[in-house]
Structure 1
């Protein structure tokens, strides 16, 4: 069993590189967004709205990638979809760092160059959308039931670790440099650095297998049984294979609502609440938030690194508790902690008190998110949907998540111009509503096999 465990951990490690690139790609903009504003936006007299849309442009690609993920994962498999994502990450990193490639003169910002930069960021977003849906799906379909929560949570750890790595990379690139150098060269190196993990991800994917659930869907039962045997042992593998075959009966054209509408609504709301609590505001605009508290640029990037370390630590808490405490208790505790953090920040903003207290409550808020809604949402999305509709249902949930992400991230600057206290109070209110939603609607899935998930929902009518 030890060898089996090492095998599944090795496979999980490769799949989580998709999560690492998800985090890397979405957070790399945090160190570069002010330089992009100066170099591509303000230099042409464009508005802060254009800056907000440019900062969030990758999220349009994420929505597209999320929607495409179900089609691709069902048509070409989970593994090949991740290979496509790796390729898109690499192209996006190269193009975002050097958007002048082929068509433009370096050092001459134009509207066309701004559009090309947004195009390359959108391509990376498609990669993120694919990886965000398929990496946890891949891990969930490979993992034994008793450690599935831990292994899928590792994907969230990889997302946060990717963000932490890029915070260090951005800080290292900017440290000791003039603002002029950062605005002309430094931001390019930040984006180009992503080519390294993207290339590694693409290469390692050639050495992992396709998931047994997809192989069974593709009528390759012998190969599926072979992989299940290597992970679970021969006796257990035969039982799982039998359950898979039962769950896939009449799967030729499964309808999305075969198990009722409630399961789809829960998947969408899990995704929407994960974003409406405001987490990506803290991630995308972290340096700017800390600068608004009075920190110098270098210090604000360092404080962002500190926040990244806190995120990693509390994601580890989730990894070690998700299969012991269950999914629901962690989500409820996390919602309460986020509400406390955001309402406190809101009150401080209304009183115009800026200082260490604000940093403390931001850390309380992000720590609460990272031990709950960060990893657990992905665990639930990867496991609650029955085999027959998983590809389609995950795609819809992930697309909804990125749409909500885009809405929250792109409206943040305008909301802050109106009222900082109101903005953070809104995120606190969403945290309270998310708690009520979990308490009333979300079932506990701890310890259940993927095939047992059908029992939680309305049976299909044959």
Structure 2
């Protein structure tokens, strides 16, 4: 058993520096999850409903009108779109590391507006837009940074950090909201809002420990800086000079043979396929119901007749967070395609099952059996999502873009996700009020679509360097042949160099082979 652990890529390639930058850089994902979670919970807080809502004679209590729920939730997605628009400019001009400072400034400004919105609901909405613009920037920068700093063999585990911390943020928000539910003063929801400051404060505290992305430095021609960063991050520093030479040669080859620098280039040639893949996984993640679960689970449970919907929300988000832990292993072990396919099957079954169960009644007259069965299936849905589409869409989207267009590919992918979430967040309150539990049939139907889409369109990218994926896409390798395709170019040599854990035992033979290959295949200098 001990020998198997020592031979595991996580044991061999991970070190404390990689772990630190993975955790710190993923704080933006936690902020995303926390803001989604606190909003979903705040919609069910009595003080929040009294302050910003109106008295509902039918319910016999204060409640937030559907139009305010719709606008408040939907404008958050609009803020994310704004953040996605500025992301390619910020990440390419300032670099990945400085983007975390911009992110922190936006989030601190937005949280301040939210916390000071004593009576104005619309000030709260503006604050959410600004916070979510920082989150939109994070949704581009964090996966990109993780993919560019992690060794290829553990990239799936590293990218799973984004979804893990997103889930952790949702869970923590649900706990904080639940603990605040019995308060009857203004601090009931202010405590929840102020907790969001943990993210920008965390970035500012650990900023000095974050290196710039080594691949970003290579793309900018700063090779000496890139080598220093790779030496800090690698468990095999003796191989770094050869890796830098291979990365340099690959960048020059791409610029000479596959020049691309604009958004329009994302839709040309083989880049079109990569853009479709990145956007589709993000769109299908939203279409399968994650916005519904994260933003409207509390109101849905109240509609089902649960006496303590906030406690049920803690259980739902807690189970999902716990399941996320296994994604540090699954995506690099069983692969991307299987994780997404199996996830869609399970998510389709649980959403459709909820719709069938609630078809026996009408809101708010569901029986306790129906309510309990629905809650159980939604908990199971969130667990399945946690080890499949939750991290999966970010893993795939961050991997498939070529180095020259990675910022723009992730921008388009994120835009696809959040443009999809906007109509869901605006329309769902009305549809949910009208259809009750039958609203889950819509999301279950999209999971069926996702099963088919993954089978025909999503390639297997595990255990491949980012440069190797460049070669495969440019060679137009068929979707189901990715797993077994043998690469022979620069990407293959980078993968071989990253995975050769016995380099010291093989002496200089391997190093001499790599240097000779680079010299022989180096593109002619202009």
TM-score (norm 2): 0.80
Q: Show the 5 A alignment for 1:11-410.
A: 11-34=21-44, 35-42=47-54, 47-99=65-117, 106=118, 109=119, 113-174=120-181, 176-178=182-184, 181=185, 184-232=186-234, 233-249=236-252, 250=255, 253=261, 255-256=265-266, 257=268, 259-296=270-307, 299-352=308-361, 353=366, 354-410=370-426
Q: Show the 5 A alignment for 1:418-437.
A: 418-437=434-453
Summarize the Cα distance change of 1:168–1:47 in structure 2 as closer, same or farther, 3 Å threshold. Answer: closer
Q: Secondary structure at the match of 2:131?
A: helix
**Residue 258 of structure 1: how far off its partner (Å):** 5.5
Which of 18, 29, 40 matches 1:8? 18
Summarize the Cα distance change of 1:425–1:91 in structure 2 as closer, same or farther, 3 Å threshold. Answer: same
Question: CA separation in 1, counterparts of 2:190 and 2:205?
Answer: 24
Conserved 8 A contact 1:349-1:421: yes
Q: Show the 5 A alignment for 1:442-461.
A: 442-458=458-474
Question: CA separation in 2, counterparts of 1:308 and 1:151?
Answer: 22
Question: CA separation in 2, counterparts of 1:21 and 1:236?
Answer: 36
Moved more, 397-406 or 432-441: 397-406
Moved more, 24-33 or 318-327: 24-33
Question: CA separation in 2, counterparts of 1:294 and 1:46?
Answer: 17
**Residue 459 of structure 1: how far off its partner (Å):** 5.7
**Residue 201 of structure 1: how far off its partner (Å):** 2.1
Q: Secondary structure at the match of 1:56?
A: helix
In the alignment, what sits opposite 2:509? none
In the alignment, what sits opposite 2:507? none
Q: Secondary structure at the match of 1:398?
A: helix
Q: Secondary structure at the match of 1:351?
A: coil
Conserved 8 A contact 1:28-1:190: yes
Question: CA separation in 2, counterparts of 1:293 and 1:457?
Answer: 48
**Residue 139 of structure 1: how far off its partner (Å):** 0.9
Conserved 8 A contact 1:247-1:387: no
**Residue 86 of structure 1: how far off its partner (Å):** 1.6
**Residue 439 of structure 1: how far off its partner (Å):** 0.6
Conserved 8 A contact 1:93-1:194: yes
Question: CA separation in 1, counterparts of 2:270 and 2:131?
Answer: 34
Conserved 8 A contact 1:62-1:125: yes
Question: CA separation in 2, counterparts of 1:52 and 1:324?
Answer: 41
Conserved 8 A contact 1:97-1:190: no
**Residue 428 of structure 1: how far off its partner (Å):** 0.5
Summarize the Cα distance change of 1:253–1:428 in structure 2 as closer, same or farther, 3 Å threshold. Answer: closer
Summarize the Cα distance change of 1:2–1:427 in structure 2 as closer, same or farther, 3 Å threshold. Answer: closer
Question: CA separation in 1, counterparts of 2:192 and 2:19?
Answer: 30
Conserved 8 A contact 2:356-2:438: no
Question: CA separation in 2, counterparts of 1:215 and 1:344?
Answer: 50
Question: CA separation in 1, counterparts of 2:15 and 2:207?
Answer: 19
Conserved 8 A contact 2:29-2:139: yes
Q: Secondary structure at the match of 1:445?
A: coil
TM-score (norm 1): 0.90
Identify the structure with bigger relative contact order (alpha carbons < 8 Å, sequence gap 6+).
1
Conserved 8 A contact 2:53-2:63: yes
Question: CA separation in 2, counterparts of 1:162 and 1:449?
Answer: 30
**Residue 168 of structure 1: how far off its partner (Å):** 1.2
Summarize the Cα distance change of 1:143–1:46 in structure 2 as closer, same or farther, 3 Å threshold. Answer: closer
Gaps of 5+ in 1: 100-105
Greater gyration radius: 2
Q: Secondary structure at the match of 1:193?
A: helix
Conserved 8 A contact 2:288-2:446: yes
Gaps of 5+ in 2: 1-10, 56-61, 477-522
Question: CA separation in 2, counterparts of 1:432 and 1:188?
Answer: 41
Summarize the Cα distance change of 1:453–1:173 in structure 2 as closer, same or farther, 3 Å threshold. Answer: same
Q: Secondary structure at the match of 2:212?
A: coil
Moved more, 287-296 or 335-344: 287-296
Conserved 8 A contact 1:243-1:451: no
* Matched positions, count: 443
1:374-428 CA distance string (max 9 Å, x none)? 0011111111111111011101101111111122122111111331344211101
